A = this chain, B = another copy of it.
């Protein structure tokens, strides 16, 4: 067989700058991600993961759980309900403070996040006066103060001719500038427009609100001042629908680790420092969900609370966890070059927070947060002590003292990893003169690990041999059987969904030495192996055995 000779692929090359459109189309076409309940027109901010997407999501979860919980000595798991006692969210501060500033457009009924809605006054200076300035610029030697005075005098006061607005995008300022030029033209104003100074709507002055056009209608007068909007979804538990029965869908899994702190300490033999990990769905009623699965209303979190002694060196622990998370991301195939760090500025942190560092990923829509690692002191435990009236302490054997531990919290979303993984795995290259799309997924994450193909389908002996091998591999891995079409097309189908290995049973297998070909997705190279060698090689490359 071997219609394909090894080509010269470029696995080390930087990923093609895949656009979100391309990625969303691939996700839909191959069954990774669909809009939720799509036949009803979808629901903004909700997604369904298809046959391949559910496997990829599952593999991400399993890889994290195995590495975070099973392979470490100091971390145990937890799996809490999504709905819990509403006091939890009073204690955590979410009822009072988990809000985004929201702006309504009364005319279009659209809603915007105030911090994503930008505006600028359009300021114009009469051209004639400016011309004068140019001819009377101070000559060398004149004092700066004198120049300023002179300019002011000559220019006269500038005029605000109106406001422009735009939603945050990759080029918000550019958009505002076009709109400002358009406004000036429409009004027939002569003179030079000054550079725009843009602000977001959280900084709006009361007297400006009326003057700023709605991005929905383009006309001023319909926007409201920003107000706080709580992002928690609420519901009622039990048959009474009143204030006493209100409960919330958790906006994060983290609180479960805090309010179960005593349960964990009492039922396990953990010793400080130790962590408690959880994977599960969380819900945030985002005002403007966007960027596909990056900011959705229902998502899956993987959070871990690492409890440390109050006197421990928290900076070191914090740094250690940042490094651990980065190493882990690289271990599942994200290129280190696409990762960066962002330290939240001290002045923007909550009062109890000691520091938060985000591991950022270079998404097609910009560098955005992937994994946040926060040093939160003992704030959360203390809040639950206060609100529940229970003690949440750890008995330190060495000092014989009870302490309330501090915590380092690495929190990441399955779906953000999912998206980062797809973005960095997507390549278009050429194999034998034919363009191919290939997802260079890490074998641990690949939805399908191995494709098994009989070279031809009209040769019963060959077919039986291939099927027996398929059955053998399937006991251990998720394996795909494909007998349809030319072998090259079958490879291409597997390449596009990220299957790292393809095994072909051909005439040599049944007529000669029983060996089969193992094809590598990334290099497209093939080697011949006995079936036992094949199993050992796959175990090594998929499971690291």
Contact = CB atoms under 8 A, between A and B. Distances in A.
A40 B388 contact: yes
B259 A37 contact: yes
A75 B193 CA distance: 64
A297 interface: yes
A30 B267 CA distance: 5
Contacts of A542: none
Contact of A80 (B49, B55, B287): B49
A84 B41 CA distance: 11
A39 interface: yes
Given A31-B263, A40-B259, A49 B79 contact: yes
Q: Is the interface of A mostly helix, strand, loop or mixed?
A: mixed
A300 to B, nearest CB: 9
A428 B264 CA distance: 25
A77 B55 contact: yes
A46 interface: yes
A474 interface: yes
Nearest to A230: B239
A423 B212 CA distance: 66
Interface string A224-261: 00000100011111111000000101000000100110
A481 interface: yes
A366 to B, nearest CB: 25
A78 interface: yes
Contacts of A287: 239
Contacts of A111: 238-240
A488 to B, nearest CB: 17
Interface stretch (A65-73, A328-336, A511-519): A65-73
Nearest to A48: B80
Interface residues of A, number: 89
A41 B85 contact: yes
A387 B39 CA distance: 9
Contacts of A237: 43-45, 233, 285, 297
A79 B57 contact: yes
Nearest to A70: B478
Contact of A34 (B235, B260, B390): B260
B236 A87 contact: no
A85 B45 CA distance: 11
A344 B262 CA distance: 45
A262 B239 CA distance: 37
Contacts of A263: 31, 34, 38, 48, 50
Contact of A31 (B38, B264, B474): B264
Contacts of A276: 51
Nearest to A66: B478
Contact of A281 (B47, B51, B281, B297): B281
A445 interface: no
Interface string A387-420: 1101010000000000000000000000000000
A53 interface: yes
A264 B51 contact: yes
Interface string A326-369: 00000000000000000000000000000000000000000000
Interface of A: 28-31, 34, 36-55, 57-58, 62, 65, 69-71, 73, 76-85, 87-88, 102, 104, 109, 111, 229, 233-240, 247, 249, 256, 259-260, 262-264, 267-269, 276, 278, 281, 283, 285, 287, 297-298, 384, 387-388, 390, 392, 474-475, 477-478, 481-482, 484
Given A43-B85, A48-B78, A51-B78, 4 more contacts: A43-B84, A82-B298, A233-B237, A281-B281
30 contacts: A31-B264, A31-B268, A36-B80, A36-B85, A39-B392, A42-B85, A43-B84, A43-B85, A43-B247, A44-B238, A45-B237, A46-B81, A46-B83, A48-B80, A48-B84, A48-B263, A49-B79, A50-B264, A54-B79, A55-B77, A58-B77, A82-B82, A82-B283, A83-B283, A83-B297, A111-B239, A234-B235, A234-B236, A236-B285, A239-B285
- Shortest 8 CB-CB distances between A and B: which pairs? A31-B267, A54-B79, A51-B76, A37-B85, A40-B85, A49-B79, A37-B84, A39-B388
